[in-house]
Amino acid sequence: MSAPLFLVESLPVGDSFTLGGPEGHHAATVQRLRVGEELLLADGRGGTAAAVVTAVGRGSLDLALTSRGYVDAPVPRLVVVQGIAKGDRGELAVQAMTEVGVDEIVPWAASRSVAQWRGERGVRAREKWASTAREAAKQARRPWLPVLAGSPDESTDRVARRIAGATAAFVLHEEATDRLTTVDLPDTGEIVLVVGPEGGIAPAELDAFSAAGARPVRLGDSVLRTSTAGVAALAVLSTRLSRW
């Protein structure tokens, strides 16, 4: 099994380090790492450091750093505009998309979104998405932590402007004739992928995104849930872009 990864604000500059706080508690108390075991530290911005546990405290680990590394950000960037979903479906989507390599997630307040992120509820929901992405990145041993855009969510007009500035943009839509498996993809820049909420994308929204330069595409003949459509599309893109 590969070494577990723990996220830190910044990588230590010396050869020793004490991992404390929530990450230290998780490593020492939950995962019960012991002296001599290896782990990875990451700053979520491509920087990594391999380390060995030299001592275990109450909710903390003393570490000896053995090597350092840096992983370039993948190109093109994969950005998913995710329609806000009710219940835990949005979090399921964020978790799975992070594990398969999304670079940025944009919460979208679609007209057919049942759940609405307003006021304090919206702040808490966005924080939950951010926490889910962080934990999923650790599980996947990702050196880059996905960006969670929006404050707390994006309107259709703002999404359309994001599409207009992208190198390529696609909207998952069940009535599209083009397939994501065959459309041309750029080698650099940013690819924006739009995933609708449970009720789908409204005609006016599809028109706005198409006018901004997005291309409607489909994955296959079946209709996927909002919690699975994004991760399925990312798997296709990751394969076609040789990330996988």
Higher pLDDT, 98 or 2: 98
Residue 111: give its domain's CATH number.
3.40.1280.10
Residue 9: give its domain's CATH number.
2.40.240.20
Domain limits for position 85: 77-241
- Mean pLDDT, residues 156-172: 96
Predicted TM-score (pTM) of the model is 0.93
Let me know whether 140 and 123 are in one domain. Answer: yes
Let me know whether 86 and 37 are in one domain. Answer: no
> How high is the pLDDT of residue 47?
97
Residue that is last in its domain, among 70, 89, 109: 70
Let me know whether 87 and 195 are in one domain. Answer: yes
Let me know whether 172 and 198 are in one domain. Answer: yes
H-type alpha helices, the chain:
21-25, 89-100, 119-139, 156-164, 203-211, 226-240
Let me know whether 86 and 165 are in one domain. Answer: yes
Determine how β-strand 16-19 pairs with β-strand 60-70.
antiparallel
Let me know whether 131 and 232 are in one domain. Answer: yes
Q: What percent of the chain has pLDDT above 70?
A: 98
Distance between CA atoms of 234 and 224, rounded to whole angstroms?
13
Let me know whether 46 and 90 are in one domain. Answer: no
- 19-28, 86-95, 111-120, 183-192: least confidently modelled range: 111-120
> How high is the pLDDT of residue 120?
84
Overall number of domains in the chain? 2
> How high is the pLDDT of residue 152?
63
* Whole-Å CA distances, 54 to 40, 65, 181: 14, 10, 49
Q: What pLDDT band is residue 115 in, cutting at 50, 70 and 90?
A: confident
Q: What pLDDT band is residue 1 in, cutting at 50, 70 and 90?
A: low
List the end-to-end C-alpha distance of the chain, in Å, as a whole number. 20
Let me know whether 83 and 105 are in one domain. Answer: yes
Residue 79 has pLDDT above 80, yes or no: yes
Place of tokens 């304090």: 120
> How high is the pLDDT of residue 44?
96
Let me know whether 229 and 146 are in one domain. Answer: yes
* Whole-Å CA distances, 47 to 21, 37, 41, 126, 141: 20, 21, 8, 25, 12
pLDDT tens for 52-75 read 999 999 999 999 999 999 999 999
- What are the residues whose beta carbons fall under 8 Å from the beta carbon of 110, sequence distance 6 or more? 83, 84, 156, 196, 197, 199, 201, 202, 205
- Mean pLDDT, residues 178-199: 96
Let me know whether 128 and 179 are in one domain. Answer: yes
3-state SS assignment for residue 65: strand
The amino acid at residue 94 is V
Show the CA angle centred on residue 202, arms to residues 201 and 205, nearest 5°: 90
Let me know whether 26 and 115 are in one domain. Answer: no
Whether 142 and 100 have beta carbons less than 8 Å apart is answered as: no
Distance between CA atoms of 231 and 99, rounded to whole angstroms?
9
- 52-66, 144-158, 166-180, 220-234: least confidently modelled range: 144-158
Distance between CA atoms of 185 and 171, rounded to whole angstroms?
14
The structure tokens listed for 71 are: 């992983």
Mean pLDDT, all residues of the chain: 94
Residue that is last in its domain, among 53, 70, 87: 70
Residue that is last in its domain, among 70, 100, 125: 70
Distance between CA atoms of 75 and 88, rounded to whole angstroms?
30
Let me know whether 169 and 52 are in one domain. Answer: no
